[in-house]
Structure 1
Amino acid sequence: MSLESLVSYFGVPALFLGCLVEGESVAITGGALVHRHMLPFVPVLLAIGSGAWVADTLFFWLGRRFRAHLFVQRQLAGSRIASVMGKIRAQPGRFAALFRFIPGMRILFPFALAQTQITYRRYGAITAASAAIWAMFYIVVGHLVGAILARVLGHIHHAHVIVWGGGIAATLSVLLAVHHLRRGQKRRQ
């Protein structure tokens, strides 16, 4: 089975799962694959947006369910969130709409918002709209990356470059996030 066949068969579900775990580099990869006409726009948009929204909702639920747990409290106390927690409590809707666009905050902000009075329904509606806009933005960025790759590589079919590049970028992003979390935990101890 060729890489193109694998991408056309597993690409959309892989983008959904990738946006659950990582986010930006997976979404950009999806946009590049749309540019190359390897995947259709609407399913990619739905996969990326819903993957991001499910992750946001899951972290919010975990933060609300385990709000008194030591792990959640440590994340909030020793982070950049602690200094703005009063503002988050005062305007949870605004922060629910914007946090997805702040790199590195996709876990901390849902945890922080779970400590406020915002309801599941309101949080879910706001983050659904935010995830849809975020998905559209990163698909456009990926489309531009695909156009640049097409210019640089010419007529070379660059599916391998897109898939491997996106996979490497996603892996590096996850590794950097894990490193950052571990370093933050060591500083707080």
Structure 2
Amino acid sequence: MMLQHFLQEFGYFALFLGTFFEGETILVLAGFLAFRGYMDINLVVVVAFFGSYAGDQLWYFMGRKHGRKLLARKPRWQLMGDRALEHIRRHPDIWVLSFRFVYGLRTVMPVAIGLSGYPPGRYLLLNGIGAAVWAAALGAAAYKFGSVLEGLLGNVKKYELWVLGALLVIGVLLWVRRRIKNARIAREEKLAVAANAQVHVDARNTSDE
């Protein structure tokens, strides 16, 4: 009852905030909770759509105005942003539609898209399509997951807190893994840049001699 009361009071607001900033884990949780009857799957999809859409529109316009400053704040953002720009320049529309489905690019990619000069009107349309497909597909998959789990375990209610906890732990572990990987890549990139700079210095000193 405590879980039900919390979800009735704050569930959809928490879903909106979660999808505004990141989204995958909280949408999966909400889809499973909808299967259990604590939330409405149609509202889950709609709220997830608006949260994702609003968040990515904000990052896009921040990218248009302050893209380089934003990316320069963190070495890993700078590295990921440069790579994202390469992808966008080759296949801009495809990436606008699909970046939500690539884990770890949710924040950096809209900034890079804005920085690339992608047209605002076109982004408004394609970002909406991408957000709708993402919310519907992931929400439906999580709902179906609940159905499959019930087929395997029988009465899921006995295990629902364990399932929610497991999904949350998996989401946190994926986030930590991504952070560690990005930090390692950023360190390697900084070392490579420093090594190249030292090579140029040595070459200049040699030529001066």
TM-score by length of 1: 0.83
What is the aligned partner in structure 2 of residue 128 from structure 1?
A: 128
Distance 1:141 1:36 in 2: 14
Q: Percent identity?
A: 23
Residues 156 and 42 of structure 1: CA distance in aligned 2, closer, same or farther (over 3 Å): closer
Higher relative contact order (CA 8 A, sep 6+): 1
Query: Counterpart of 2:186?
Result: 185
What TM-score results when the alignment is normalised by the length of structure 2?
Answer: 0.76
Farther-moved stretch of structure 1 (11-20 vs 175-184): 175-184
The aligned counterpart of 1:111 is 111
Q: What does 1:13-28 align with in structure 2 at a 5 Å threshold?
A: 13-28=13-28
Mapped to 2, the partners of 1:83 and 1:131 lie a distance apart of 19
Q: Distance in 1 between matches of 2:103 and 2:60?
A: 17
Q: Which runs of 5+ in 1 are unaligned?
A: none
CA RMSD of aligned residues (A): 2.7
Partner of 1:68: 68
Where do 5+ consecutive residues of structure 2 fail to align?
191-209
Could you say which residue in structure 1 is the equivalent of 2:172?
171
Contact 1:92 1:116 in 2 (8 A): no
Relative to 1, partners in 2 of residues 1:94 and 1:6: Cα closer, same or farther, differing over 3 Å? Answer: same
**Mapping 1:1-189, distance limit 5 Å:** 2-69=2-69, 71=72, 74-75=75-76, 78-79=79-80, 82=83, 85=86, 88-89=88-89, 91-157=91-157, 158-189=159-190
Letter paired with 1:45: V
Gap change, CA 1:111 and 1:153, over 3 Å in 2: same
Task: Give the structure with the larger helix fraction.
Answer: 2
Tell me, yes or no, if the aligned pair for 2:76 and 2:183 is still in contact at 8 Å.
no
Q: CA 1:17–1:169 in 2, change beyond 3 Å: closer, same or farther?
A: farther
Q: Deviations over 1:91-149 (max 9, x none)?
A: 42332112112222212321221222222332122111111110111111101221133
* Matched AA of 2:153: L
> 2 CA distance for matches of 1:125 and 1:75?
29
Q: Which has the larger radius of gyration?
A: 2
Q: 2-side partners of 1:160 and 1:83: how far apart?
A: 38
- Length, aligned pairs only: 188
Task: Evaluate the alpha carbon distance shift between residue 129 and residue 25 of structure 1 in structure 2; reply closer, same or farther with a 3 A threshold.
Answer: same
Q: Would you say the 8 A contact 1:29–1:162 is kept in 2? A: no
Instruction: Please identify runs of 4+ aligned residues in structure 1 that moved more than 4 A.
Output: 72-77
Q: Which moved more, 1:124-133 or 1:147-156?
A: 147-156
Paired with 2:135 and 2:116, the residues of 1 have a C-alpha distance of 26
User: Hey, what's the Cα distance between the residues in 2 that align with 1:101 and 1:83?
Assistant: 14
Partner Cα separation in structure 1 for residue 82 and residue 68 of structure 2: 16
How big is the shift at 1:183?
Answer: 2.3
Alpha carbons of 1:107 and 1:101: their partners in 2 closer, same or farther (altered >3 Å)?
same
One-letter code of the match for 1:38?
Y
Which deviations, in whole Å up to 9, do the C-alpha atoms of 1:69-92 show, x marking residues without a partner?
26179557634853861x523542
